Structure 1
Amino acid sequence: MNQTWLISAVLLALFLGALDALVMSAAMPTIIAELSGLHLYAWVYTAYFLARAVALPIFGKLSDLFAVRQLLLVSISIFILASLAAGAAPSMGYLVGARVFQGIGSGGIFALVYVVLSEAAPEGQRAKTLSLASFIWGVASVIGPTMGGVMVSFFSWRWIFFINLPLGLLSLAGIALYLTEFREKKKDVSLDWSGLVSLTGFLMSVLTLVMIGGRDIAWISLPSALLAVTSIGFGIWFVKAELGADDPILDLRFFKRRGFAMGNLAGFCASFSMFSLFGYAPLFLQGALGHTPLQVGMAMLSLSLGWSVSSLILGRVMHLTTQKTAALAGGILLAAGTGLTLGFSTATSMVHSFLVFQVVGFGMGFVVLATLLKVQNSLGSSDLGVATSSHQFARTLGGTLGVGVSGGMVTHQLLNRLETVEVSLPEKLMVQLKENMENLFRPEFQAQIPDAAKAVLKTAVAQGVWSTFLLVFLVSLVCLCLVLCLPAQDGG
């Protein structure tokens, strides 16, 4: 019974972190209207994801050195306090600062929850237990956007943050009562401070460049060059620090193990493909095909449901197959589904879109769970935290880069198309598109588009997003090649 309560408590913590990444979209227009600071719009998202990405590998390593119970309690506490600060934000700058600490807390939660689930799983049921985490992600993806809209419509946007308090305290209580240490930790701890600082600097500079490059700063500009040079400098420092550390944050020798290297790279590619579709398939369905937001939501829901359902299924039949076979099945489904998106046209029906995205979601669920197990089993139990968080980080990095690269491609293709045709958008609308492609979804933006330009715009959107579909398919093929390279033995 204690084990059931513990798993429920950590899944609740995961739900909070996953939900927080999804409820913001519905609330942002209202937040901007109340707090102003439109120039900081994107940083409400960027600050959160940047902090989360940096925190993931650090908390993963710390979980191998210190008590997971204390680390998880600290992570959830940071998240709750930051949520209260965000809900009470008097300005956009304050909100962005609070989101940084929310990101740190959620990074710790995401790293540690998977460690706890892996350790708390009954003998031979790790896959089944971990599959529950994917189910929680699916539930959050369904509830999140709707919940954000309800909070804003009937209460206040501040409640999308305040709701974290009672749920977070409930999770804290369950973890404090039922979580005990499963692994014996080292008595003499040598923390790799040089590796920690250099890794933080490297990740922040690289991800900042990816997130704001082509949007807030031009790719070919002095700020971009400085960020690139800074990234290289921190990267060199990190490699040197890890090679000379007694107990490195990330032992680079782990990458010599095929299960660790190929599993993480496959997770990176799968997330690159999945989140690129999450980000830009709605642009195609609504901007090019003219489907309603409700129809688009239903089509995109199939991605989340496919991911969740396939993970649950695999978790219950994993004992009947091998991790490589499961990952290979997922890689084939992912490549097949993304390949089918290349056939999307203005005649594509919603049923067809739903089924194609379902295939992609099933592929993602199989790849993610199977490669996580492979990465965990490639290292000893003493390095479970590093193994688990490295896979989480690879997926986070893949999704972030996928959305960033795809966004740059779509924007470039769309604007080039509009500039080369006779009928173009007014300069004011072109500027709004450059600032944020999501303006295409806004009724007030669509109402300003001249009738003569609407057909041209739909064609431009279709061509721009098709380039993303092609990129996603190619990356999915790379993912398939990587899972083919996984060692056949489940322990390798």
Structure 2
Amino acid sequence: MPPDLLSPKRRLFLILATLLALFLAALDTLIMSAVMPTIVADLGGLHLYSWVFSTYLLSRAVALPVFGKLADLFPNRTLYLVSIFIFLVGSVLAGMAQSMMALTVFRAIQGIGAGGNFALVYIVLADISEPENRGRMMSYASFVWGLASVLGPSLGGFIVSWVSWRWIFYINVPIGLLSMVGIWFFLKETRDKHEVIEIDYAGIITLVVAILSFLTAFLLGGREYSWTSLPILGLFVLFALSAMGFYVAEKRSNEPILCFDFFRMRGFSSANGLVFFSSVAIFSLSAFSPLFIQGALGQSPFQLGIVMMFLSFGWSAGALFCGRQSNRWGEKPFSLAGGLILIVGCVMAVRFSAGTSLWACAAAMGLAGVGMGFTSIATLLVVQNSVEKTDLGVATSSHQFTRTLGGTVGIGICGSLVTSRFAQVADTLNESALQGRISPAVMDQIRQNFENFFRPDVQQQLLPDVQTALHQAIGSCVIDVFWLALIAAVICLIFGLFLPPKTAGENK
């Protein structure tokens, strides 16, 4: 059934059901930060705090390319229903968790469903649109992300205050079931799938091992372990071996998870390179700006939320505008404009100081968000238009995976950078005005990982003036992260120069 044969009513209900499923997964991603302190207080297991987030991220990253390939082989409706079902099963189990270890495992199940969901929403929206109308459809998905980023923290706080943290997972069930009903009734196939159905098991296994080892190394490197430690080096060796195995498997497979010939396409390779470095920049800014705003500037969590809201609004607004105008102006101009705006936001960030106003921070985050909104939509359209329609699933999921990869690598490198810089600054502080005012055990915890400073049990052992000094030290170290984000934004712009000068609808 071609896209133009879908009735307006069927198309509308299908879009709503698809976006509802995306909202469900996006909200779950963003709501956790607001409720984790309550969960830790109830279940204990503080040492697993970060792994509740990390396992979700890892399993989602693994699921993205796998579901993307399967979407080129099997019916989208079946895969979509399976991914939402997996997500709901993980949600129910997470709500019933009696320990942090159990919650960590169940979040991994959620992540698999979320990865399939994230891949399929863009694939389905692209399937039901002609190439010249894909930008508008893709912008709807970005708007949902922006809406979830605004509602997530406040909804999480409300649920924790009035019901129970377990309901942040249980609430997924009625929303997910409603989405499944809409997808069941209104989603029909609109493109031909590959005639030969051959699942690349060797490719899947080697890809999963490569992704897990690579991302885990960046999640732990420079924090839990030094970059030259045996565990981190072992992970990189495992990644190298599995990556080579994946390459061999893909060359031999008739239906590879990722066809390496795609990288010979100028649009595919340049657009994915661009979105990788723009993701490094934007996620580094979004992850570490709160440390500066609360640390060096001494702003409250409420004021921090306002600043970060500008980033979300900027991203959504940029994506909406790009999606609606890309067919008129072309993807390359939007990609270049997005790169330039992202650079401006990063330049403003590296100039932050203790005297920077809250509105200056908001302006920097807003501009960076607009730049990322432009580049995320424009590069997705370039990638989709670079391949045949039968490979739309692989192309779309490769773009989503590259964004996830860029964000994870960026946060990992920046976290290591801040940790090492903060350890030097903390030593200097401890040798001077704060000497003897921080116990060796506490200082050792903070030196190993600056995030330990924000743990309630650590802060209870520090005097107010010591907390202030360490906050300011963290703020000064975060500027190094902003410089790295600026470098990534410049590289992002360079990749934009290599994009093909074609507009939507002129590619394949």
Q: TM-score range by the shorter chain?
A: over 0.9
Deviates most, 240-249 or 200-209: 240-249
Counterpart of 2:114 (choices 103, 106, 115) is 106
Residue from 323, 340, 354 that aligns with 1:346: 354
Task: Give the gaps of 5 or more residues in structure 2.
Answer: 1-8
The answer on whether the counterparts of 1:201 and 1:231 sit within 8 Å (CA) in structure 2 is yes
Tell me the secondary structure at the aligned position of residue 189 of structure 2: coil
Look up the equivalent residue of 2:128 and give its one-letter code.
Answer: A
Paired with 1:429 and 1:304, the residues of 2 have a C-alpha distance of 35
Q: Which residue of 2 aligns with 1:213?
A: 221
Which residue of structure 1 aligns with residue 27 of structure 2?
Answer: 19
Matched, 1:430 2:443: yes
State whether residues 287 and 440 of structure 1, in contact with CA within 8 Å, keep that contact through their aligned partners in structure 2.
no
Aligned-partner Cα distance in 2 for 1:280–1:438: 11
CA deviations 1:232-280 (Å, max 9, x no partner) are: 1101111111122212110011001110001011111111111111110
Number of matched pairs:
492
1: CA distance, partners of 2:464 / 2:41: 29
Distance 1:38 1:452 in 2: 26
Instruction: Tell me how far apart the structure 2 counterparts of residues 432 and 280 of structure 1 sit (CA, whole Å).
Output: 20
- The alpha-carbon deviation at position 315 of structure 1 amounts to 1.6
2 CA distance for matches of 1:392 and 1:90?
A: 33
How far is the alpha carbon of 1:188 from its aligned partner? 2.4
Which among 473, 479, 495 is matched to residue 466 of structure 1? 479
Of the structure 1 ranges 113-122 and 424-433, higher mean CA displacement relative to structure 2 is found in: 424-433
- Asked whether 1:487 is paired with 2:487, we answer no
Aligned partner letter, 2:114:
S
CA drift at 1:438: 4.4
Alpha-carbon offset, residue 432 of structure 1: 4.5
Provide the TM-score with structure 1 as the length reference: 0.97
The whole-number CA distance in structure 1 between the counterparts of 2:204 and 2:439 is: 49
Letter in 1 for 2:383: V
Deviates more, 1:148-157 or 1:368-377: 148-157
By how many angstroms is 1:462 displaced?
A: 2.5
The question of 1:286 aligning with 2:294 is answered yes
Instruction: Give yes or no for the alignment of 1:56 onto 2:69.
Output: no
1:379 aligns with 2:387: yes
Match among 295, 305, 315 for residue 303 of structure 2: 295
**2:354 aligned counterpart, secondary structure:** coil
Q: CA deviation at 1:161?
A: 0.3
* CA positional deviation for 1:459: 3.8
Distance 2:455 2:361 in 1: 22
Kept after mapping to 2: 8 A contact 1:286/1:441: no
Which residue of structure 1 aligns with residue 463 of structure 2? Answer: 450
Q: Is contact 2:422–2:450 with CA below 8 Å preserved after alignment?
A: no
CA distance in 2, matches of 1:451, 1:207: 37
Instruction: Decide whether the 8 Å contact of 2:131 with 2:385 is kept in 1.
Output: no
Secondary structure at the counterpart of residue 79 of structure 1: helix
Deviation at 1:428, TM superposition (A): 4.0
Post-superposition offset of 1:453: 3.3
Q: After the TM superposition, which of the residue ranges 140-149 and 158-167 deviates more from structure 2?
A: 140-149
Q: Which residue of 2 aligns with 1:164?
A: 172
- Residue in structure 1 matched with residue 99 of structure 2 by the alignment: 91
> How many Å apart are 1:483 and its aligned residue?
0.6
What is the one-letter code of the residue matched to 1:477?
V
Q: Distance in 1 between matches of 2:155 and 2:195?
A: 45
Q: Distance in 2 between matches of 1:363 and 1:194?
A: 38
Tell whether 2:314 aligns with 1:306. Answer: yes
In 2, Cα distance between the equivalents of 1:435 and 1:8?
A: 47
Deviation at 1:445, TM superposition (A): 5.1
Q: Please list the CA deviations of residues 432-478 of structure 1 after superposition, one character each: whole Å capped at 9, or x if unmatched.
A: 43576445556775564335535542442232101000000000000
CA distance in 1, matches of 2:47, 2:89: 26
Per the TM alignment, residue 423 of structure 1 is displaced from its structure 2 partner at its CA by 3.1
Q: Deviations over 1:320-347 (max 9, x none)?
A: 2011011111011011111111111011
Instruction: Give the Cα separation in 1 of the matches to 2:240 and 2:297.
Output: 42
Cα RMSD of the aligned pairs, angstroms, is: 1.6
**C-alpha distance in 2 between matches for 1:442 and 1:216:** 16
Q: Does 1:319 align with 2:327?
A: yes
Contact kept, 8 Å, 1:423 with 1:453, in 2: the verdict is no
* 2:155 counterpart residue number: 147
TM-score by length of 2: 0.94
Q: 1:302/1:71 Cα in 2 relative to 1: closer, same or farther (>3 Å)?
A: same
Deviations 1:360-380 (A, max 9, x none): 111000000000000100101
Q: Distance in 2 between matches of 1:160 and 1:56?
A: 24
Deviation at 1:218, TM superposition (A): 2.9
Partner of 1:203: 211
- Partners of 1:102 and 1:264 lie apart in 2 by 26
Question: Would you say the 8 A contact 1:333–1:363 is kept in 2?
Answer: yes
Distance, in Å, in 2 between the alignment partners of 1:441 and 1:49 is 22
1:36 to 23, 36, 44: 44
Q: Distance in 1 between matches of 2:403 and 2:205?
A: 22
Relative distance call for 1:343 and 1:92 in structure 2 (3 A) is same
Residue of structure 2 in register with 1:228 after alignment: 236
Show CA shifts across 1:373-429 (max 9, x none): 001001010100011000000000111111111111111111211102313443343
Q: Match for 1:243 among 248, 251, 257?
A: 251
